[in-house]
Amino acid sequence: MKKLIVLIVLLPSLYFNSLVAQTINNSKKTELFNKKNLNGWYTYIKGRGKDNDPCEVFKVQDGLLYVSGEEFGCVTTHKEFEDYRLVVEFKWGNKTYAPREGKAMDSGVLLHSVGNDGNFGGAWMNSIECQIIEGGTGDFVVVGDGSPDFAISCPVEDKKQGGSYVFDPQGQLATIHKGRINWYGRDPEWKDEKGFKGSRDIEKKTGKWNRLECIAQKDEIKIFLNGKLVNHAFDVKPHKGKIQVQSEGAEIIFRKIEITEK
């Protein structure tokens, strides 16, 4: 009888572990940033175009990707991606540049990027942005053309914050084709100034590493910052595309950009 009990306990555990192993084996994990160079990416700098970066806005050194912020632009994957988990680990540097000199340190990861390089502001492809900015990391920004081709829907609070919706898991769905939906804890007294910290911020202080995770599945995107769900979008359009990492007036450093395709 004791042996039978042991089998009954163990079999479900073995079956579960088998499923987990199968899921892992069926997933494809790729280091998009190989810590050596920008293989798999190309640069695009506003006013300079593709693969023309004389100021080394994007530079790989000692296993890290340094983004100076001196000029607006991005690094963009050659490949398009659909249904994935993207992990980005970053920390802020110290410098800011005009036109954002002295303002909140700003960057972003642009998901589902489609169309022409530089189509938005001369610097970026149209996309859905996971914002990285002091006090606002985890905001969604629709980097679109205002058409229904670019959209997100999020449950939001009744009251807007500075003209933007605020994510609330228990709220009513709101759809936008441009602009932003703030992460749930964005300080209502947020100021566009370097070093800003809100009372509910999850992002670590300047110089410390942060972990940003974007899970894109079908027409949804979930954003986690340092392990905490901070924003969740539904009915996302488009739902696949390239990935861009921005240079937007502030020095930022990346040590990991990793994708797991499902």
Q: What is the mean pLDDT of the chain?
A: 91
- Using an 8 Å Cβ cutoff, are 107 and 246 in contact? yes
| Residue 142 pLDDT class (50, 70, 90 cuts) | very high
Assign 205 to helix, strand or coil. coil
Q: What is the pLDDT of residue 26?
A: 53
pLDDT tens-digit map of 178-226: 999 999 999 999 999 999 999 999 999 999 999 999 999 999 999 999 9
Please name which of 147, 135, 140, 167 lies closest in space to residue 221, comparing C-alpha atoms: 140
Residue 7: pLDDT over 80: no
Residues in the chain: 262
pLDDT tens-digit map of 151-164: 999 999 999 999 99
Residue 243: pLDDT over 90: yes
Task: Name the burial class of residue 262, with classes exposed (0-12), middle (13-18) and buried (19+) by CB atoms within 10 angstroms of its CB.
Answer: middle
Instruction: State the CB neighbour count (10 A cutoff) for residue 21.
Output: 10
d(C-alpha 140, C-alpha 135), whole Å: 13
Say what percent of the chain tops pLDDT 70: 90
Q: What is the pLDDT of residue 27?
A: 75
| Residue 262 pLDDT class (50, 70, 90 cuts) | confident
164 DSSP 8-state letter: B
Residue 257: pLDDT over 50: yes
24 DSSP 8-state letter: H
| Residue 23 pLDDT class (50, 70, 90 cuts) | very low
Q: What are phi and psi of 59, to 5 degrees?
A: -140, 135
Residue 103: pLDDT over 50: yes
Instruction: State the CB neighbour count (10 A cutoff) for residue 210.
Output: 17
Span 93-111, average pLDDT: 98
Evaluate the omega torsion of the peptide bond into residue 148 and state whether it is cis, within 30 degrees of 0.
no
